[in-house]
Amino acid sequence: MANSKKWGNIIGGKEDLEGDNHILTSPADGSEIGEVVYASKAKVETAIDSSAAAFENKWLHTSLRDRKSLLQKLAHRVMERSDEYANLESLNTGKTIRQSMLMDIPLGIEHIRYFAEENEFRESRKISHPEYPDTTGEIQFAPMGVVGAIAPWNVPFLMAVWKTAPALLAGNTVVLKPSHFTPLTALELGKDALYAGFPPGALNVVTGSGDVVGDTIAKSRKISMVSFTGSTTTGKRVMSAASASVKKVTLELGGKSPNIVFADCDIDHALKGVLFGLYLNSGQLCESGSRLLVQSSIKEEFVSRLSKLLEAMKAGNPMDMTTDVSAISNRKQLDKITTMVNEGIAGGATLLYRKEIQAIVPSGGLYYPPTIISSPNLGLEILQEEIFGPVLSVVEFRDEKEAIEIANKSDYGLAAGVWSKDIEKAKRVASTLMAGTIWINEYHLLSAAAPRGGFKQSGVGRELGLEGILEYTQTRHIFVNKGFNDQDTVAYGLVIAEGE
């Protein structure tokens, strides 16, 4: 990988270099990283055919134990190359090399291992039928077949792992489409799956535009399920495209997550947690705590101390191990953040703090300064819609009831944070929040054992944990009757009168 400057798609056991070449540049400083080949519709169809053949001829007949063993080998292979993966991830996304080396890559490896070693998932369970005591039943958790996995650009390696490892474990083959902005570590994972011994086609990786590659996956009749992560707008399109062939769809979508700080919290801890909750990955994380809800009595002190912490964060080139501020991953996203904030301020929002970084960061890079805003008008778009950038909005609340009301007044429901030393109160609040993940005195830390996903327009279905594995299965009921018995006499008698 280190010397490779051109990445092709992984189709049927080979790297396919045929197609349109696109130059990738680093968001950190604009330097050229290399070329990537975008797959055409025909290539995507070839990839789907190859995954369908791999499913029928090979993977369906590979035992759970052998599938786990291959995942273990894959984890080992990526581990051996973890520095290369981290370097590539930061070059491609603009996130700090410190984050890639200490979080994205090692966590991804740990999560492949989790699926290789977890033992909660069973391929079947026995049941009895209370209505028919002479029979038995077996419920099988059968694979879906070929899974189409569509991923966003913000945490490409983790996304590739979260989608492929549980799907492969459950017995599916996968066609993975990483974002065309950040495809590199997913393409490397495809190569390493082959190196580890996965059969050709078990994991195909095809990148390119959503309109071509994503749409072909969403509409293909040979794909039984689409696992999508991305914006709510695209998620709705994918769901609609998938409906023509009645595919199963899981959607991990956007959010506008509240981070609720009560006056009785450990303020030093909460300050760092709120900062981490938003500014990790420059706010380009779906569950980012982008709405700070702070109790009125500590609001002034909290925002002033938060600004001082932001002031101390080091801006610079993200490829330097000491830099704290990431770049924005692509020009389109930088423009979106800039427009939303400018329109928010024009519409009445107040700028409480903005960090000066422009003179320090590399001139050819894509950066947005860490920013804090507030507005008494909670209906403003900037307070309601996902910005997906380093912009925190501050809203104050008087008491527990008002905090819950404001937190839940959102079309989204992905995550939330609650900061209080009173754990009973924090748990009470957490249990009334309409969101899939709630952290108490914490933020962002996720476990492969815990399902994650959204309430409301933040998504459908769950990723990770046992529930995440089960998403990649469909149940099959086998009803066993060993021989003619009394229940048959009664049942058949409904249509065949006695003596006939």
Q: Is 190 in the site for ligand NAD (CB under 6 A)?
A: no
Rule CB under 6 A: choose which of 103, 206, 253, 319 binds ligand NAD. 253
* Closer residue to ligand NAD, CB minimum distance, 135 or 231: 231
Residues marked active site are found at 252, 286
9 near ligand NAD, judged by CB under 6 A: no
Quick one: angle between helices 299-312 and 267-279, nearest 10?
60
- Give start and end residues of each alpha helix (H) in 207-325: 215-219, 232-243, 267-279, 299-312
d(CA 206, CA 122) in angstroms, rounded, equals: 31
Q: In 170-221, which ranges are continuous DSSP H helix?
A: 184-196, 215-219
Using rule CB under 6 A, residue 396 touches ligand NAD: no
Among 28, 149, 238, 328, binds ligand NAD (CB under 6 A): 238
Contact partners, residue 370, CB within 8 Å, separation at least 6: 279, 310, 313, 325, 353, 354, 355, 357, 390
**In the complex, minimum distance from the CB of residue 456 to ligand NAD, in angstroms, rounded to a whole number:** 12
Residues 430 to 489 in contact with ligand NAD, rule: CB under 6 A:
454, 459
Residues 275-314 that bind ligand NAD (CB under 6 A): 286
Shortest reach from residue 379's CB to ligand NAD, in Å: 21
Residue 36 interacting with ligand NAD (CB under 6 A): no
Exactly one of 36, 292, 319, 414 binds ligand NAD (CB under 6 A); that residue is 414
The one among 210, 239, 264, 434 contacting ligand NAD by CB under 6 A: 210
Contacts with ligand NAD by CB under 6 A: the residue count is 29
Among 218, 271, 394, 460, contact with ligand NAD (rule: CB under 6 A): 218
The rounded Cα 1 to chain-centroid distance in angstroms is 25
Cα 301 to Cα 368: distance, rounded to the nearest angstrom: 25
**Residue from 50, 87, 92, 229 binding ligand NAD (CB under 6 A):** 229
The H or E element that residue 342 is part of is helix 331-346
Of 22-30, 31-39, 113-121, 249-257, the segment contacting ligand NAD by CB under 6 A is 249-257
| By the rule CB under 6 A, 175 interacts with ligand NAD | no
Residue numbers 131-150 binding ligand NAD by CB under 6 A: 150
Alpha helices in 10-80 (DSSP H): 41-57, 64-80
Do 112 and 74 meet the contact criterion of CB atoms below 8 Å apart? yes
Amino acid at position 128, single letter: S
**Residue 438 near residue 404, CB atoms below 8 Å:** no
For ligand NAD, the closer of residues 318 and 459 by Cβ is 459
Distance CA(374)–CA(344), nearest Å, equals: 10
Q: Which residues bind ligand NAD (CB under 6 A)?
A: 150-154, 177, 179-180, 210-211, 214-215, 218, 229-231, 234, 237-238, 252-255, 286, 386, 388, 414, 454, 459
